[in-house]
């Protein structure tokens, strides 16, 4: 959102600025990129700017699954890219989680997180069998079958079984962003909120109120990239995702991250009797294309029906919201150099997997910018050409 002349804070001045690198977008990925850059090159002056407040994008609106992904996601990767690449991508996400644990979670007591497992659930044997018809080899990535009797009592009465994977994490995503911001500020990196970039010139980045002279720019706006420049319109498709937080009348005794893939639903507990649930985009795929926040009655009703009919618990809704994700054709991100008036890079298109891939992708972005690598994993797998 922009700020009009009338709404600008009193006595606000807007002198031009200088930096070595400007990162546009202060979501999980933009902040993580700044973190890695400052790790490798503490001498660089880095400015991160965001047109809104911290957490305004998907990074502050997801369910706090810090995860490699469901068994269905693994199966999809396997089908599309083959066994070796699927393994490589899951290993990349696993490294991403362990890096964020080692560098951020362990040293940030203010972040509420829990190490846990994920369960890709099946309501019936028939569903499991039809799902498995396409190649899925659980041993490929450490997925272990749990039958109903191995599941907690709330789950075993409803589900036939589940594929389990671990380690995964449950986090408060906003605390993660705040902590990253705090550690960047301790490294003298400016994270400026409510400042929107609108164009790139050979000298730097123009914002709505000033000019930031710099020699490199990194675009980390994910689902909002096509809004920034037409060059992204054929590459990133913005999709809304709906979420809901409910208070349960009777608790569910499972602390895992849960995916019900045939129903396209994911859910987890955030604390006793509080359940976070999202998904059900299948109920209105066309209506959920777009880059603006909007609650969909159709999908929210579908999520409520799932809690009543599948989880069979009574509940009271305490919050509803939506968020914007950036999808690519192959549902894998790009972490790449771009052609632009200024030396430029783009990192985005996380297709609903940015919390899993984000930290390690940001590391590769920083390595690309500082010249330690010449190609990222995603450049190898799915090269994209972007010219501003």
Ligand X SMILES: Cc1cc2nc3c(=O)[nH]c(=O)nc-3n(C[C@H](O)[C@H](O)[C@H](O)COP(=O)(O)OP(=O)(O)OC[C@H]3O[C@@H](n4cnc5c(N)ncnc54)[C@H](O)[C@@H]3O)c2cc1C
* Choices 50-58, 119-127, 289-297, 300-308; region in contact with ligand X by CB under 6 A: 50-58
* 204 near ligand X, judged by CB under 6 A: no
* 340 near ligand X, judged by CB under 6 A: no
DSSP E strand stretches across 87-228: 113-122, 144-147, 161-171, 190-192, 197-200, 204-207, 211-213, 216-219
Three-state secondary structure call for residue 190: strand
* Choices 11-19, 119-127, 348-356, 369-377; region in contact with ligand X by CB under 6 A: 348-356
Using CB under 6 A, which residues numbered 243 to 282 contact ligand X? 243, 278
Q: Which of 36, 122, 228, 306 binds ligand X (CB under 6 A)?
A: 228
- List CB contacts of 154: < 8 A, sequence separation 6 or more: 251, 252, 253, 254, 311
Q: Which of 161, 238, 302, 356 binds ligand X (CB under 6 A)?
A: 356
* 221 near ligand X, judged by CB under 6 A: yes
Kindly state the smallest distance separating residue 338's Cβ from ligand X, in Å.
15
DSSP 8-state symbol, 215: S
Q: Which of 58, 77, 104, 377 binds ligand X (CB under 6 A)?
A: 58
Distance (Å, whole) CA 76 – CA 91: 15
Kindly state the smallest distance separating residue 42's Cβ from ligand X, in Å.
22
* 196 near ligand X, judged by CB under 6 A: yes
Distance (Å, whole) CA 36 – CA 30: 10
* 360 near ligand X, judged by CB under 6 A: no
* 30 near ligand X, judged by CB under 6 A: yes
Q: Which of 348, 368, 378, 386 binds ligand X (CB under 6 A)?
A: 348
Instruction: Answer for the pair 92, 360: CB distance below 8 angstroms, yes or no.
Output: yes
Kindly state the smallest distance separating residue 372's Cβ from ligand X, in Å.
22
Instruction: Answer for the pair 86, 77: CB distance below 8 angstroms, yes or no.
Output: yes
DSSP 8-state symbol, 250: S
CB atoms closer than 10 angstroms to residue 273: 15
Instruction: Answer for the pair 68, 165: CB distance below 8 angstroms, yes or no.
Output: yes
The 133-172 contact track toward ligand X, x by CB under 6 A, reads ----------------------------------------
* Choices 2-10, 27-35, 83-91, 98-106; region in contact with ligand X by CB under 6 A: 27-35
Kindly state the smallest distance separating residue 44's Cβ from ligand X, in Å.
20
3-state helix, strand, coil in the chain (%, to 5): 35, 30, 35
Starting at the edge strand that comes first in sequence, how are the strands of the sheet with 197-200 ordered?
A: 17-18, 211-213, 204-207, 197-200
How many residues form the binding site for ligand X (CB under 6 A)? Answer: 41
* 384 near ligand X, judged by CB under 6 A: no
* Choices 18-26, 149-157, 182-190, 293-301; region in contact with ligand X by CB under 6 A: 18-26
Distance (Å, whole) CA 237 – CA 177: 24
| Listed residue (333, 359, 368, 362) closest to 98, CA to CA | 359
User: Which chain residues interact with ligand X by CB under 6 A?
Assistant: 24-30, 49-52, 56-59, 61-63, 65, 67, 196-197, 220-224, 228, 241, 243, 278, 323, 325, 348, 350, 352-356, 358
């Amino acid at each position: 959102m922009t700020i009009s002349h009338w709404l600008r804070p009193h006595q606000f001045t807007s002198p031009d600025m200088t930096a070595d690198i400007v990162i546009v977008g202060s979501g999980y990925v933009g902040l993580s990129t700044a973190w890695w850059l400052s790790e490798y090159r503490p001498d660089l002056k880095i400015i991160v700017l965001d047109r809104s407040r911290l957490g305004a994008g998907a990074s502050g609106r997801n369910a706090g699954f810090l995860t490699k992904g469901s068994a269905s996601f693994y199966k999809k990767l396997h089908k599309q890219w083959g066994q070796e690449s699927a393994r490589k991508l899951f290993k990349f996400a696993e490294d991403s989680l362990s890096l964020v644990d080692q560098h951020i979670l362990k040293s940030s007591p203010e972040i509420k997180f829990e190490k846990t497992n994920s369960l890709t659930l099946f309501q019936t044997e028939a569903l499991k069998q039809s799902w498995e018809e396409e190649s899925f080899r659980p041993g490929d990535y450490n997925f272990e079958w749990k039958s109903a009797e191995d599941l907690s009592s709330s789950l075993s009465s409803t589900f036939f079984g589940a594929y389990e994977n671990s380690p995964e994490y449950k986090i408060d995503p906003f605390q993660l962003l705040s902590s990253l911001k705090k550690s960047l500020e301790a490294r003298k990196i400016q994270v400026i909120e409510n400042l929107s970039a609108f164009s790139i010139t050979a000298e730097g980045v123009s914002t709505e109120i000033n000019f930031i002279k710099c020699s490199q720019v990194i675009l980390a706006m994910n689902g909002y990239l096509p809004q920034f420049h037409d060059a992204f319109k054929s590459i990133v498709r913005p999709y809304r995702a709906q979420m809901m937080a409910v208070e349960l009348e009777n608790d569910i005794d499972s602390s895992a991250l849960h995916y019900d893939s045939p129903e396209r639903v994911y859910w987890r507990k955030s604390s006793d009797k509080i359940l976070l649930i999202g998904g059900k985009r299948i109920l209105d795929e066309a209506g959920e294309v777009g880059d603006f926040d909007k609650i969909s009655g159709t999908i929210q009703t579908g999520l409520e029906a799932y809690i009543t009919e599948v989880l069979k618990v009574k509940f009271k809704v305490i919050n509803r919201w939506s968020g914007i994700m950036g999808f690519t054709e192959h549902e894998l991100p790009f972490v790449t150099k771009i052609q632009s008036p200024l030396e430029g890079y783009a990192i985005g298109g996380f297709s609903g997997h940015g919390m899993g891939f984000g930290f390690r992708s940001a590391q590769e972005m920083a390595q690309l910018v500082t010249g330690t690598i010449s190609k990222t994993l995603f450049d190898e797998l799915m090269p994209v050409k972007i010219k501003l």
